Amino acid sequence: MEHNRKPGIWAGMGAISLVVTLLTFPALAQSPSAAQARQWCFGTGKVSDDQRMDGCTAILKANPSNAAALANRGEIYRRKGDPERAVADLNRAVDLDPNDASAWYNRGIAYDDLGDRDHAIADYTRAIRLEPGDALYHNNRGNSLIAKNDYAHAMVDYDRAIKLDPKFALAYFNRGTALREHQEAERALADLDMSIKLDPTYGPAYGNRARIFRDKGDRARALADFARSIELNPSNDRDAYARANMYFDDHDYARALADYDRSIKANASYSGVFNARCMTHAILGHLPEALADCEQALKMRPNDPYTLDSRGLVHLKFGNLDAAIADYDAALGAKPELDSALYGRGLAKRKKGDADGAERDVAAAKAINAGIADTFAPYGVQ
């Protein structure tokens, strides 16, 4: 789900709802004058986040109870990735001016950034009471409700956001995403189509629509949408990973590898991508690279049966039969019906001359998955 990050910066003595154009200026070596501080803290023109921070801080040194300056500085802390300090400033802002809907809203986003959905929902609700006609507030509360698995109430908020603003592309995206996650593919597709129509530059909408096409078996349209998403946002690791998996399933391992590389370059924090790339390297015969990826995945998620299974294949292709069997044993200890581990262990036992043990494992694997031999066919092991 995507939150709308409306700045909610105060201009003069009144809150506005404009997206401020931000430019980067070199920091000055001295504190701003009083007039410059006011311009930086409350201005709506070409003011950078650093300038706004400096301006609001200067104002607060002179008057620590300036609610508007606290609200603006809190919003800048949030933008800079410091939600704790954002909440501290916004706490004081709403205490001083409890009728500032934008401050409640921005504190709600900060709480969301901290993973505190209950406080976020409470703040969005307070903002809605003050300004019930703001679609952004309903959209964000819907996202927080979804994060708490409160689908029914989230849908009410998304519906309300769209009724208030029928051209709110992000609300269509969020509602479509929620619908897809609740197996309402056709309604989800309609919402994602509308989101793309309203904002054809928003990559995640293409990515989520691609997943619907993929699940419906329309691989050509899925790949086209993934391509558009990645074109719009080359650092979208999730869509690169999803497309890589499609290529992998098509046995197009070179393209799969390129997308796994792309996903890891954008975000190297997900063990599953390293495991997938390990398997792809192994199939392509890049065994040292495969082993390195499996080792990395296991550092991130120790004892994961799927990665142990993948490393077992790498050892099998290397000819390290004892190591392969040990990995398959460990994988099956965690997941006894993992068909690929049973089959791989059977192949390793066969190579070691344990015909009976091999036959038992292969038969057990085929009982779980009759097509397991076909699955292994591209792996280059027998």
Whole-angstrom Cα distance, residue 264 to residue 271? 10
At 230-273, the pLDDT tens digits run: 999 999 999 999 999 999 999 999 999 999 999 999 999 999 99
- Single pTM value for the model: 0.84
DSSP state of 45: S
Give me the amino acid identity at 108: G
Confidence (pLDDT) at 1: 59
Cβ atoms 78, 110 nearer than 8 A: yes
Q: How far apart are the first and last CA of the chain?
A: 45
Position 6 pLDDT exceeds 60: no
Position 14 pLDDT exceeds 70: no
Q: Which residue from 253, 325, 301, 376 is spatially nearest to 293, judged by alpha carbons?
A: 301
Position 377 pLDDT exceeds 90: yes
Whole-angstrom Cα distance, residue 10 to residue 15? 4
31 — pLDDT class (breaks 50, 70, 90): confident
Whole-angstrom Cα distance, residue 7 to residue 122? 19
Confidence (pLDDT) at 9: 39
Alpha carbons within 13 angstroms on the beta-carbon side of residue 134 total 21
Confidence (pLDDT) at 3: 55
Q: Which residue from 164, 171, 104, 101 is spatially nearest to 140, judged by alpha carbons?
A: 171
Confidence (pLDDT) at 382: 82
The proportion of the chain whose per-residue pLDDT surpasses 90, expressed as a percent, equals 90
Position 45 pLDDT exceeds 90: no
Confidence (pLDDT) at 43: 85
293 — pLDDT class (breaks 50, 70, 90): very high
Within 8 A by CB and 6+ apart from 211, the residues are 180, 222, 242
Confidence (pLDDT) at 10: 40
Per-residue pLDDT averaged across 276-304, rounded? Answer: 98
Per-residue pLDDT averaged across 339-365, rounded? Answer: 97
Cβ atoms 273, 263 nearer than 8 A: yes
Count of CB atoms situated within 10 Å of the CB of 159:
14
At 307-337, the pLDDT tens digits run: 999 999 999 999 999 999 999 999 999 999 9
Per-residue pLDDT averaged across 61-66, rounded? Answer: 95
With tokens 């505190």, the residue in question is 116
Per-residue pLDDT averaged across 351-356, rounded? Answer: 96
Q: Compute the C-alpha angle 151/156/159, nearest 5°.
A: 120
Per-residue pLDDT averaged across 214-229, rounded? Answer: 97
Per-residue pLDDT averaged across 74-99, rounded? Answer: 96
Beta 14-15 vs 10-11: how paired, if at all?
antiparallel
Class level of CATH domain 1-166? mainly alpha
Position 13 pLDDT exceeds 80: no
Per-residue pLDDT averaged across 54-67, rounded? Answer: 94
Position 102 pLDDT exceeds 50: yes
Within 8 A by CB and 6+ apart from 89, the residues are 70, 71, 73, 74, 77
At 170-218, the pLDDT tens digits run: 999 999 999 999 999 999 999 999 999 999 999 999 999 999 999 999 9
**Between the CA of residue 261 and those of 122, 180, 267, 278, what are the distances in Å?**
41, 28, 10, 11
Position 32 pLDDT exceeds 90: no
- CA–chain centroid gap for 304, Å, is 22
The helices-and-strands tally (H runs, E runs) of the chain is 21, 2
Confidence (pLDDT) at 25: 33
114 — pLDDT class (breaks 50, 70, 90): very high
List phi, psi (to 5°) of 11. -115, 120
Position 281 pLDDT exceeds 90: yes
List phi, psi (to 5°) of 189. -60, -40
Helix (H) or strand (E) holding 14: strand 14-15
Give me the amino acid identity at 344: G
Position 95 pLDDT exceeds 60: yes
Helix (H) or strand (E) holding 11: strand 10-11
Average pLDDT along the chain: 92
